[in-house]
Chains A and B, each alone.
Chain A
């Protein structure tokens, strides 16, 4: 399965297991900038790590420091492999724009309607520089369904 998504911020193609968040998240206060773990105890995916995952974001909320957390993750190697957003969030994506200005490796960010997110959950996915989202390996639940 391959779906084409609009590119929001250009970056390196990314491959990883999809993590489809169950609720919008605030990166600041919601994600540990040192590790990429979801630290918000009220979030349904609390305890999961976004590092190296293809991260599907149904929405983003809260503080205007989200970009700083994403930039830090890009700098310390704990960024998601790629980001898939329901709608562009300039506050968050700025972290990627700045990472590029700093000359650091930057994952690609694309836009895809949140209604399309769930079907990728748990799958091994690649997001290309061209915005194509391809399933490499289906999730266990899909294999045994």
Chain B
């Protein structure tokens, strides 16, 4: 099984449209060979995770594409960068890294990408149609795009995302193909109390458990009687894609490719049945924290993935005009900042630090604090904060995060049973 490129693709790879486009096409083709794809397919859009500064190498790569005259050939939104270009929060990134991060963000703009700077592009107007082939990066965006929108993407990493956007092609492989989108596993939550499933605790914790249990398999969640809402699915997918290599999930009766569990399974009996018990959920909640509940916390971080306007509504309702003792870092995109308008000032007066275009685990915003303790309601923050910020994590519901931030003392409620 070898890769066959069309005459057009071969011409681009050999430099007919400039060295930048050639480099992009070669990267797509090399990846396709690695994946065992036999051809490339056209894509409708891309979401680019590559503009986040991890070191000088990424900046030099993007600038090499710019120097080669490359431009994206499809709609391409940008994931978070390392700087808050909106100026909402103070990013502690120092020189020379700061300049390199800025140069990188500039290079991606020059390549023709949209300045969306969000990890929730699907809530910022980028929603490809069901069945469309796209090339998306950022693990939570990938899983949302596949699972909730029903568009088709693999987990495109840095470099391949922009290479596909420039080439307008992606390897015909994996989740682009219908036969690879069927579930082989059932993750049944019907034994969990309804009060739990309807609580704010449910979806990030279930996502974290799901990701660890299923690994790379595609599963269908059964036993969910009501659509939990888009923000809950966002939290579930983000947590699942952090604890496991999840690119697509189905929820029977909720997500577009799973009108029923049988449809999601393609009429084939599942290879694996996971019956989720309250004990498994309690254990998964415990595992999201890396430190034992301390008496006090040093910071709260929410918004991974970026907060929606509805999540800001909830935050405002819970704060109820009170002053915070410990800051809440609320990460979001400029699409939400624009809608918040006047309300932003009231939140900031309370002690909320709004972080735009980026987030607290991808760039230094939290002060360096030996033994610092961070509280979060995000399964994804809980997973990445210890490695990326040095803070220990206490996982809690949004309501407990807010109460803890107001009082400065750790507040942890029991999960509804």
Which A residues lie at the B interface, using CB under 8 A?
A: 8-9, 26, 28-30, 33-34, 39-42, 59-69, 71-72, 74-76, 88, 90-95, 97-99, 101-102, 104
Task: Name the CB-closest residue of A to B211.
Answer: A61
Given A64-B158, A94-B159, A97-B27: A72 and B57 interface contact (C-beta under 8 Å): yes
- Cβ of B397 to closest chain A Cβ, rounded Å: 22
Contact with B142, one of A64, A99, A102 (Cβ below 8 angstroms): A64
Given contacts A63-B242, A91-B156, A97-B31, 6 further A-B contacts (CB under 8 A): A40-B386, A42-B290, A60-B245, A71-B61, A72-B54, A94-B27
Compute how far the CA of A97 lies from the CA of B49 in the bound complex, rounded to whole angstroms. Answer: 17
Contact with B245, one of A34, A42, A62, A101 (Cβ below 8 angstroms): A62
Compute how far the CA of A41 lies from the CA of B54 in the bound complex, rounded to whole angstroms. Answer: 20
Kindly list chain B residues whose C-beta atoms are within 8 Å of the C-beta of A41.
290, 386-387
Which B residues lie at the A interface, using CB under 8 A?
A: 23, 26-27, 30-31, 34-35, 49-50, 52, 54-58, 60-61, 64, 137-139, 142, 154-161, 241-245, 290, 361, 383-384, 386-388
Kindly list chain A residues whose C-beta atoms are within 8 Å of the C-beta of B23.
101
Q: Which 8 A-B pairs have the closest CB atoms?
A: A72-B55, A75-B57, A91-B157, A68-B158, A64-B157, A29-B384, A39-B387, A67-B157
Task: Name the CB-closest residue of B to A34.
Answer: B55
Kindly list chain A residues whose C-beta atoms are within 8 Å of the C-beta of B64.
101-102
- Cβ of B352 to closest chain A Cβ, rounded Å: 25
Dominant SS among interface residues on chain B: helix
Kindly list chain A residues whose C-beta atoms are within 8 Å of the C-beta of B158.
64-65, 67-68, 71, 94
Q: Is the CB of A102 within 8 A of B60?
A: yes
Kindly list chain A residues whose C-beta atoms are within 8 Å of the C-beta of B156.
64, 91
Task: Name the CB-closest residue of A to B32.
Answer: A90
Q: Is the CB of B27 within 8 A of A101?
A: yes
Compute how far the CA of A42 lies from the CA of B60 in the bound complex, rounded to whole angstroms. Answer: 32
Kindly list chain B residues whose C-beta atoms are within 8 Å of the C-beta of A30.
387
Q: Is the CB of A69 within 8 A of B54?
A: yes
Task: Name the CB-closest residue of A to B24.
Answer: A101
22 contacts between A and B (CB under 8 A): A9-B34, A26-B242, A29-B383, A30-B387, A39-B388, A40-B386, A62-B242, A65-B158, A67-B160, A69-B54, A71-B55, A71-B61, A75-B57, A88-B35, A91-B156, A91-B160, A97-B27, A98-B159, A101-B64, A102-B57, A102-B60, A102-B61
Kindly list chain A residues whose C-beta atoms are within 8 Å of the C-beta of B56.
72, 75
Compute how far the CA of A87 lies from the CA of B49 in the bound complex, rounded to whole angstroms. Answer: 23
Compute how far the CA of A94 lies from the CA of B160 in the bound complex, rounded to whole angstroms. Answer: 7
Determine which residue in B27, B139, B243 has the highest number of CB atoms from chain A within 10 A of its CB, and name it.
B139
Kindly list chain A residues whose C-beta atoms are within 8 Å of the C-beta of B361.
29
Compute how far the CA of A75 lies from the CA of B332 in the bound complex, rounded to whole angstroms. Answer: 32
Compute how far the CA of A34 lies from the CA of B26 in the bound complex, rounded to whole angstroms. Answer: 28
Given A29-B384, A62-B139, A64-B155: A75 and B31 interface contact (C-beta under 8 Å): no
Q: Is the CB of A76 within 8 A of B139?
A: no
Compute how far the CA of A33 lies from the CA of B241 in the bound complex, rounded to whole angstroms. Answer: 21
Q: Is the CB of A65 within 8 A of B52?
A: yes
Given A61-B245, A63-B139: A91 and B387 interface contact (C-beta under 8 Å): no
- Cβ of A103 to closest chain B Cβ, rounded Å: 10
- Cβ of A48 to closest chain B Cβ, rounded Å: 14
Given A64-B158, A72-B54, A72-B58: A101 and B26 interface contact (C-beta under 8 Å): yes
Compute how far the CA of A69 lies from the CA of B383 in the bound complex, rounded to whole angstroms. Answer: 18
Q: Is the CB of A90 within 8 A of B387?
A: no
- Cβ of B285 to closest chain A Cβ, rounded Å: 15
Q: Is the CB of A62 within 8 A of B54?
A: no
Kindly list chain A residues whose C-beta atoms are within 8 Å of the C-beta of B155.
64, 91
Kindly list chain A residues whose C-beta atoms are within 8 Å of the C-beta of B27.
94, 97-98, 101
Contact with A68, one of B52, B142, B154, B383 (Cβ below 8 angstroms): B52
- Cβ of A118 to closest chain B Cβ, rounded Å: 20
Contact with A71, one of B49, B57, B244 (Cβ below 8 angstroms): B57
- Cβ of A27 to closest chain B Cβ, rounded Å: 10
- Cβ of B265 to closest chain A Cβ, rounded Å: 24
Contact with B49, one of A33, A65, A99 (Cβ below 8 angstroms): A65
